[in-house]
Amino acid sequence: MPATRKPPKESTRESLSRHVQILELRAELARAMRIGDEVNFKPQMIQTASAVFLLGAFLFALGDNGKSMAFVVAGGLLCLSAVIYLAYTSNYVVASTQRKKRLGAILNKARSMESPAAAPLLLEMVNRLYDDELSEAIWAELDTLLPRVTEEHLPYFTKASVERLNSYLTRSNSRQSLLSPITVVRCLGVVGDEESLQSMQIVLHAQPFLRGRDWEGLCKVIREVSPPLQMRLQNARETQSLLRPSQAPDEHTMLLRPSHESATPPEELLRSASKEGEED
């Protein structure tokens, strides 16, 4: 798998334009994820919020011991106000809102491309999100893009993208429940690596209590895509072995001249052809 993102092999205007769009979206994603970096909790803010929170907790404990329901209400409100104060004074709420807005705009641009080339970008994007609403929208978009991935889109998938897809087969959670395992397998059949084959084997030999609802259908797809994937990886290894030198030169090795004297005088060896013609 390519470690760096290279333009697609096709030199058409459409493919190059798509590559530029992906690079621009990645730059926008990097800027969006840095929005929260300016959020900082100053010591005075933390001390004030802690004092209010502790007072609220104390009143809540008094009320909970049967003193008065008013203490419980007052203590709960003080604890809540301490959290709200810390969130707003640290600019956390504003930064979170701005970042969510930027990420939503990136998702809309990726959708407008209508190309599986945007799938790696969305994989990176959803891996860094903890907003359920936005994450669900990205998972749904990935579920439509990943089955359409072909060899044309290989240059867009980095090693990190493939590693995420591999992990989705062996580790599942609620955040990726909208992404079908069959969708992941079909995509890995095109862009997968050696670890992808291992992940597929883990699924094939899974214990009954670990099998999903459509486990038999998933195994059928795995058996379908595994042979072409193995062939592609084998061809890639053979190509690399042909282009790689059989043995790397040793930096400590010294190349020496032969010990015997050469029968040809040095001036004969260094004379150019044109010079030889002039002397003749």
Domain ranges of the chain: 115-243
Q: What is the pLDDT of residue 252?
A: 59
Tens digits of residue pLDDT in 145-157 = 999 999 889 889 9
Residue 1 has pLDDT above 50, yes or no: no
Q: Is 279 or 239 the better-scoring residue by pLDDT?
A: 239
Q: Is 172 or 127 the better-scoring residue by pLDDT?
A: 127
Of 53-57, 69-73, 268-272, least confident by mean pLDDT is 268-272
d(CA 160, CA 163): 5
Of 44-48, 75-79, 214-218, least confident by mean pLDDT is 44-48
Q: What is the pLDDT of residue 5?
A: 47
Q: What is the pLDDT of residue 259?
A: 54
Model confidence at 3, pLDDT cuts 50, 70, 90, reads very low
User: pTM to 2 decimals?
Assistant: 0.62
Q: What is the pLDDT of residue 262?
A: 57
Tens digits of residue pLDDT in 89-142 = 656 666 778 888 899 999 999 999 989 999 999 998 887 766 678 888 898 899
